[in-house]
């Protein structure tokens, strides 16, 4: 199977007018937007809050930290999962240049990809057969046979 060619981000870093609601949300409450992006990507929703605490904690230890670690790692993971061109250096630059714009771009990307997702749900009923059991064995659970002929107990 051939690897898919890498593509560009669907919107640019400063393309706020592509989805003004995202940028307004990010401008007024960037931590809320960051937590939303993290949750929609499948990570812990509170993870971006570490970016708020990291500079202070590292600063107390005498280590200057100017790069938001969660933003950079999540941005890199999004690029990797969805086959987007870029590098860790570009992720660092985007996160340091305009953190809010970086979170908005990630939100627009995930929002657009989730819009195109299709879920297939099988709603066929599963036939249930109750097995006749002798009176002395009533303590055993009832059994059902699913569509593939595998016996399932509950």
Which pLDDT belongs to residue 94?
92
Segments in 44-98 forming alpha helices (H) = 49-60, 69-82, 88-97
**CA distances to 68, 133, 145 from 153, in Å:** 50, 14, 9
pLDDT tens readout for residues 29-80: 888 889 999 999 999 889 888 887 777 777 777 777 778 889 999 999 999 9
Q: Note whether 38 and 45 are within 8 A (CB).
A: yes
Whether residue 79 contacts residue 91, with contact meaning beta carbons closer than 8 Å, is answered with yes
- DSSP three-state, residue 79: helix
Q: Which residues contact 147 (CB under 8 A, 6 or more apart)?
A: 124, 126, 127
Boundaries of every domain in the chain: 16-115
Q: Could you tell me the two tokens for 110? A: 């995930």
Alpha-helical runs (H) found in the chain: 20-28, 30-41, 49-60, 69-82, 88-97, 99-115
Only one residue has tokens 């960037």, namely: 30
pLDDT digits (tens, 9 = 90+) for 71-110: 999 999 999 999 999 999 999 999 888 888 899 999 999 9
Task: Render pLDDT for 3-27 as a digit per residue (tens, 0 to 9).
Answer: 778 899 988 888 877 777 777 766 7
What's the Rg (C-alpha) of the chain?
Answer: 24
Lowest mean pLDDT among 81-90, 121-130, 132-141, 145-154: 145-154
């Amino acid at each position: 199977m051939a690897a898919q060619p890498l593509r560009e981000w669907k919107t640019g870093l400063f393309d706020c007018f592509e989805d003004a609601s995202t940028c307004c949300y990010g401008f007024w409450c960037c931590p809320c937007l960051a937590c939303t992006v993290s949750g929609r990507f499948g990570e812990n929703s509170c993870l971006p809050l570490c970016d708020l605490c990291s500079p202070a904690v590292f600063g107390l230890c005498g280590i200057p930290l100017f790069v938001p670690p969660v933003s950079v790692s999540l941005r890199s993971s999004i690029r990797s999962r969805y086959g987007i061109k870029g590098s860790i250096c570009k992720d660092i630059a985007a996160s340091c240049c305009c953190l809010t714009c970086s979170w908005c771009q990630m939100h627009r990307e995930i929002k657009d990809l989730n819009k195109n997702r299709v879920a297939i749900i099988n709603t066929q009923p599963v036939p249930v057969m109750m097995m006749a059991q002798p009176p002395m064995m009533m303590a055993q659970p009832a059994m059902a046979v699913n569509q593939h002929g595998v016996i399932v107990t509950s």
